[in-house]
Structure 1
Amino acid sequence: MRRAQLVSPFGVGAMSVLVDGTSVITAGLDHWFPRNNADLALEDFRVNDWRLEARLKVQEFRLPPDYRKGSPDDHRNEKLSVPALRFPCYSFCMYCKRLKKVPLSFQDAVRCDEPTCVGKRRFGPKMSQVPFVAICGKGHIDDFPFREWVHRSKDPSCTGVLRLFSTGGGGLEGQVVRCGYDAKNQRNERKGCGASRSLQGITTGGMKDESGEDSTFLTQQLAGRSDPYLCTGARPWLHEEDGPCDQPVQGALRASGNVYFPYVESSIFLPQKVGAVSGALRDLMKRADVEPTMTFLFTMRGKDATVAEIRQATRGAGELFDQFPDDELLAAFQDRFGIGSTGEDGDDDESGDLDIWRHPEFKLLRETPQDDELRASDPGVHAAIAGHVDRVRSVTVLRETRVLRGFARGRDNELKIAEGKALLRRRPLPPDKDWLPAYVVKGEGIYFELDSDRLAAWEARGEVQARADLIANQYGQVITDRGGSPRDISPRMVMLHTFAHLLINELVFTCGYSSASLRERLYVSRDGGRDMAGLLIYTAAGDSEGTMGGLVRMSRPDRLQPVFAAALSDAHWCSTDPVCMDAGERGQGPDSCNLAACHGCALLPETSCEEFNRFLDRGLVVGTFADPTLGYFSTST
């Protein structure tokens, strides 16, 4: 497993399968870096981004530990690993169908001890983990309550042998739990009470209880509607088998998509002062003999720290800092700790305004910054697209930090920063010691910005707003049912998002990138003080595909115009049209929040899309069959 995958999609609380077939759940952050390890050198893992640290209220970020064999002369960070626990704990025998539960910390192979399976052998056959778990909306997960389910009781007294039989049905109705049966599915009174019940309906959610509150089939039907079965509050990734929780619980397949929704916060690094700090000085600031003293100085003096005090803090590095002038050293200190920031980044825990967070990036990217961490140039705009696109930037260097700040289960709901961080560890850390797992991607990209006058005139058309309202109204209904906050799903947002997907698909085809190697980053707002209509397409993979310059070369006017033309031409017809265009007007895709957009034309891998492939419509880009002039690019070449 790559280190980046321990941030997403296999971060804290996520399940994965080891090479021997064992399903495990990634443990919490409490034991990622053992405090009693004398050879631990945290400077190898620290990552800093002053904007993101302020937003998430942490002192630093850390790369997931990588396993190192070490050497006789160097034992630093030797044999570090990310702990994981066996989950689900229930296993079943493929021969006799017996269910057996073992502890979370069990490390050996689970073997069946049924006499008919053991026979004359020393050990019984290996058992397989069950595919079923139970989840709740607060992020908890537990073993499926087989014993409670089959006995229709929250506290059954029967301790008989349970077996999970498959009766040949096409769905969960064919999976039957039985108590007091033998391996041949025959009743055996000595082995239990004889209760039997299929698993039909256990994954059903979206129900209402008698008081109108959200509920599930498992909660209402395990023991009856009059005695609802609620979540146990289990957090197995933290080795907690129970806890306080009053939420309904839903059955799920352990590999299904609704079991884990990681919340990853990302940021393009912005220097406090462009070009003021070299990359070499930033690297020196991370040295093991400098970082702790710098942090202590900031804790004690904050923004009042002087250059003399900063130089005193760097004395452990000898003369390495002498080559840098005072103003650059002070700028590096301010960059490291975010001193002098304007507070425009929307770091309030209750703030969900992405446009506030993205606006500083937008302001800097649209210019031509020249910094070791963010560098862009102006290649010009081809005359054929100049009427629609106001500016293009070749972003030759950028650094993106992606941080896991929590996760959800069941539904991709809104998650407050404090609630998400509480799921990642047993005991919260004070702000001056708090950290979150992260990884850094250095790459390149192309930035586009639409013509503001043409965009305003296009958005003012009634038919344009009416089509965008189809998506906005559907999303409003969905988010209201889930108790979330509404968003501004504007025509420019849907159009620019769809156009980003079309461009990425064309760049993948033209340049030979893999389908998941490019990502989008949208800068969209209709707020008067933060009006934005920009798009950044950049390399998402931290490998050779991200640094070879291929994407930057495509920003040249003579190369970009054919890509634009091909993307718009392909958007006029989908391989599933007229079904995609016509049927899509009633809604399709995730939450029915797409119009004319499907896998044949506009969808991307979910790792490349910011919105989980929602809010897409080719009609707002190139027009519809009924109104070819509806799209923003309808008259483009």
Structure 2
Amino acid sequence: MTAPANGPLRVGELRPSQLLHTYGVGAVTDLPNLSTMVLGLDHWELQQAAPLTEDRLLAAVRRRLGPQVTTLRTPPYLQETSDPFGDWTRVGVPVALFPRWLRCSREQCGILSPASSGLFELEEHILRPENTRYAHNCYSTGRRRPTAVPARFLVACPAGHMDDFPWQYFVHRGADAPAECTLSLVERGTTGEAANLFVTCSCNDVKARSMAEAMGTRGEQELPACRGHHPHLGTFETCDEKVRTIALGATNSWFASQLRVFSLPRAEEPLAQAVREHWHSLELLAAVPPEAAKMLLPTLACWPELEQYGVEQVWNAVRAEATAKTAAPAQQASDDEEFDLATPEWQAFTALNRYSLPDFTTEPEPVPASASAWLERVVLVHRLREVSALTGFTRIDPPEWLSPEDELIEPAAPLSKEQPTWVPCAELRGEGVFLAFREDRLAEWEKRTDVAARERTLRAAHHTWCLARGIEPRWPGIRYVLLHTFAHALIRQFALECGYGASGIAERVYARSGKRPMAGVLLYTAAPDSEGTLGGLVSLGHHNRLDPVIGQALEEARLCSSDPMCAEHDPRVHGHLHGAACHACLFAAETSCERGNHYLDRALLVETLPGDLGAFLP
């Protein structure tokens, strides 16, 4: 990361995946001595931000943000060298100091003032950027000077705006503050809670004020109206929301709005797959004389991925692809077909043939004997590639956990001042296990009267929940609830067996009735390393190991430590989106669940304490 103050200054490091999931555009990044905010896309330098090819994801992003989006790009990066003053030190994601108010960490001082006031001095550390800090001259000199730490509180609103806490306004209770006065943040107690923190002013006109008065409902009444400030863009806009006080580093200060897809096979051979992935760059060569085309090949941006095959073989593959497209021109897909992210993935995982590609390697596995009555297919996914794109973010309240096909509401906060022409993305590589249910068994279960009764209960709660949030009710179907519950039960058991933490195992649920039915789950784990993961999850997919794992997962789902409260939970009472489910039995981390722990019900999977309420399995 670089801070563009008086030229780029390295202040820390982040992984590419963190720039999408944790510290994306508009997020506050907590460094050892500084607190910064990632600036909008307008400030990013694109020379070292490599384009990433993933047509399905680009189509989905364009549907959400508009047709002006032309590319997906990875964060700007230059290979690190041993030269501490090399060009690589000036390449990175731009950040700016935020919050802009600092506090002296010396207990006897505690002065509170903006960084621009001249009371604090920036100490740059070129060789150790994590040691870059602001220092206060209240005591001694040099490195012994106390560090000026970021102010502990900010204000934000549900519309996505954020601002420095109005310290002067708060302590003077809305009155104008004298120009010569200085503020201090004093702690009177040992707990560190807001009630023990007091803001004082050097003038004698006001008394010290507790930060507890800035919290909750009282804080909304005491604090000024939202200024509509987007610090990452440097803009202000009209806003009617009330601001809320939040602590620095609070998890509700930034929620990512993302889209994710898997890279799917376009051919059975690795070279043909690579040519089709980069066809938008290679198709122009088909009209060029062969000798000239071969000379131009090494100059293309995609050549590093094709170089291993040699110029001659790549040129032959380009000609073969051009001939195939001329003989059978592709039909123009409708917008809905382009945005259908689930169907192509389902077709790839359920294909009868196995794939052996760099980013998609599958192997069919026999179904465990004990599950053959309801499980149709098991596929070991030795290698997969997931690409995710950041499309916006929210504050205070997370974006509703809707499927990509349903989530058409624009996020509250934009990534750039104008409509973005590109979005940042990251790619992960990993492994997984895919399980497909028997369609005949599932369709028969859906027709049962007790299942229909349970669906009416869950659907009524879903309707109440959506109306309370002003969302159009879109029920995912009772099939989805069953498969989602099964995925969560299996994630917990997989985590005990494979060595990965439960938060590192993610799910993808494929559930749809009708003409093109789908019924299956993919449990996978992925990492930003180019080699992916080590095979611990795939090993659990072998039938001799999967059999006891599924059996134990189903047995654990029958009884929860919170029963009978969990098993007898009525979602209609408070408008919840889950039935018999809680943190003790089914809930998973946000990194694992694609629907935020919604649409879960143990009663649909196995018989629970109240009896059989529509259990799919005996």
Q: Give, in angstroms, the shift of residue 475 of structure 1.
A: 4.2
Contact 1:405–1:421 (CA under 8 A) maintained in structure 2: no
Match of 2:297 in 1: 317
Alignment CA distance shift 1:241-1:164 (3 Å): farther
Alignment CA distance shift 1:512-1:33 (3 Å): same
Alignment CA distance shift 1:573-1:60 (3 Å): same
Corresponding position: 1:63 with 2:74: yes
Corresponding position: 1:156 with 2:176: yes
Distance in 1 between residues matched to 2:176 and 2:232, nearest whole Å: 26
Contact 1:281–1:332 (CA under 8 A) maintained in structure 2: no
Distance in 2 between residues matched to 1:546 and 1:508, nearest whole Å: 18
**Counterpart amino acid of 2:28?**
M
Q: Give, in angstroms, the shift of residue 523 of structure 1.
A: 1.1
Q: Which residue of 307, 318, 341 corresponds with 2:286?
A: 307
Deviations 1:199-237 (A, max 9, x none): 336453xxxxxxxxxxx6544443xxxxxx432122222
Distance in 2 between residues matched to 1:310 and 1:219, nearest whole Å: 70
Corresponding position: 1:515 with 2:502: yes
Alignment CA distance shift 1:259-1:314 (3 Å): farther
Match of 1:498 in 2: 485
Question: Which stretch of structure 1 is more off in the superposition, 21-30 or 471-480?
Answer: 471-480
Contact 2:264–2:360 (CA under 8 A) maintained in structure 1: yes
Contact 1:277–1:328 (CA under 8 A) maintained in structure 2: no
Contact 2:103–2:113 (CA under 8 A) maintained in structure 1: yes
Alignment CA distance shift 1:467-1:178 (3 Å): farther
Distance in 2 between residues matched to 1:275 and 1:588, nearest whole Å: 52
Match of 2:22 in 1: 9
Q: Give, in angstroms, the shift of residue 408 of structure 1.
A: 0.6
Q: Give, in angstroms, the shift of residue 575 of structure 1.
A: 3.4
Q: Give, in angstroms, the shift of residue 265 of structure 1.
A: 0.9
Match of 2:433 in 1: 446
**Counterpart amino acid of 1:307?**
A
Identity of aligned residues (%): 31
Q: Which residue of 423, 440, 445 corresponds with 2:414?
A: 423
Distance in 1 between residues matched to 2:289 and 2:87, nearest whole Å: 27
| Matched position secondary structure for 1:401 | strand
| Matched position secondary structure for 1:550 | coil
Match of 1:352 in 2: none
> For this pair of structures, how many residues does the alignment match?
562
Contact 1:165–1:176 (CA under 8 A) maintained in structure 2: yes
**1:325-340 matched pairs, under 5 angstroms:** 331=321
Q: Give, in angstroms, the shift of residue 29 of structure 1.
A: 2.4
Alignment CA distance shift 1:511-1:488 (3 Å): same
Q: Give, in angstroms, the shift of residue 133 of structure 1.
A: 1.1
Q: Give, in angstroms, the shift of residue 143 of structure 1.
A: 0.9
| Matched position secondary structure for 1:516 | helix
**Counterpart amino acid of 1:2?**
R
Q: Give, in angstroms, the shift of residue 14 of structure 1.
A: 1.4
**Counterpart amino acid of 1:59?**
T
Q: Which residue of 176, 191, 195 corresponds with 2:198?
A: 176
Deviations 1:118-144 (A, max 9, x none): 489998633322221111222221111
Q: Give, in angstroms, the shift of residue 381 of structure 1.
A: 1.8
Distance in 1 between residues matched to 2:254 and 2:372, nearest whole Å: 43
Match of 2:376 in 1: 390
Contact 1:571–1:618 (CA under 8 A) maintained in structure 2: yes
Match of 2:587 in 1: 603
Distance in 1 between residues matched to 2:341 and 2:285, nearest whole Å: 30
Match of 2:127 in 1: none
Distance in 2 between residues matched to 1:68 and 1:548, nearest whole Å: 25
Distance in 1 between residues matched to 2:507 and 2:111, nearest whole Å: 49
Contact 2:160–2:413 (CA under 8 A) maintained in structure 1: no
Q: Give, in angstroms, the shift of residue 25 of structure 1.
A: 1.4
Corresponding position: 1:553 with 2:539: yes
Distance in 2 between residues matched to 1:488 and 1:310, nearest whole Å: 56
| Matched position secondary structure for 1:95 | coil
Q: Give, in angstroms, the shift of residue 521 of structure 1.
A: 0.6
Contact 1:344–1:360 (CA under 8 A) maintained in structure 2: no
Q: Give, in angstroms, the shift of residue 561 of structure 1.
A: 1.3
Distance in 2 between residues matched to 1:334 and 1:610, nearest whole Å: 38
Distance in 2 between residues matched to 1:375 and 1:69, nearest whole Å: 32
Deviations 1:401-435 (A, max 9, x none): 11111111111235977945972223445xxxx22
- Structure-2-length-normalised TM-score: 0.79
Deviations 1:4-52 (A, max 9, x none): 211211111112222x332221222233326xxxxx455xx22110111
Match of 2:577 in 1: 593
Corresponding position: 1:481 with 2:493: no
**1:196-211 matched pairs, under 5 angstroms:** 196-200=208-212, 202-204=214-216
Alignment CA distance shift 1:317-1:164 (3 Å): same
**Counterpart amino acid of 2:225?**
L
Alignment CA distance shift 1:594-1:253 (3 Å): farther
Distance in 2 between residues matched to 1:413 and 1:11, nearest whole Å: 15
**1:122-133 matched pairs, under 5 angstroms:** 125-133=146-154
Contact 2:388–2:425 (CA under 8 A) maintained in structure 1: yes
Deviations 1:441-469 (A, max 9, x none): 22222111222222223233344344445
Match of 2:398 in 1: 412
| Matched position secondary structure for 2:365 | coil
Gaps of 5+ in 2: 1-13, 63-68, 124-132, 299-306
Contact 2:559–2:609 (CA under 8 A) maintained in structure 1: no
Q: Give, in angstroms, the shift of residue 566 of structure 1.
A: 1.1
| Matched position secondary structure for 1:603 | coil
Match of 1:301 in 2: none
Contact 2:160–2:412 (CA under 8 A) maintained in structure 1: no
| Matched position secondary structure for 2:58 | helix
Deviations 1:248-281 (A, max 9, x none): 222212222211111121001234x432662784
Q: Give, in angstroms, the shift of residue 346 of structure 1.
A: 5.8
Distance in 1 between residues matched to 2:242 and 2:504, nearest whole Å: 38
Q: Give, in angstroms, the shift of residue 471 of structure 1.
A: 4.5
Match of 1:237 in 2: 232
Match of 1:91 in 2: 102
Match of 2:610 in 1: 626
Q: Which residue of 41, 44, 49 corresponds with 1:29?
A: 41
| Matched position secondary structure for 1:55 | helix
| Matched position secondary structure for 1:322 | helix
**Counterpart amino acid of 1:27?**
L
| Matched position secondary structure for 1:237 | coil
| Matched position secondary structure for 2:168 | helix
Distance in 2 between residues matched to 1:601 and 1:544, nearest whole Å: 34
Corresponding position: 1:574 with 2:587: no
Gaps of 5+ in 1: 35-39, 181-190, 205-215, 223-228, 299-304, 349-355
Distance in 2 between residues matched to 1:81 and 1:339, nearest whole Å: 40
Distance in 2 between residues matched to 1:119 and 1:4, nearest whole Å: 42
| Matched position secondary structure for 2:245 | strand
Distance in 2 between residues matched to 1:279 and 1:75, nearest whole Å: 39
Deviations 1:564-617 (A, max 9, x none): 1111111122334344334x445899x843333333322222211112223222
**Counterpart amino acid of 1:618?**
R
Distance in 1 between residues matched to 2:508 and 2:244, nearest whole Å: 34
Alignment CA distance shift 1:479-1:144 (3 Å): farther
Contact 2:171–2:206 (CA under 8 A) maintained in structure 1: no
Alignment CA distance shift 1:385-1:563 (3 Å): same
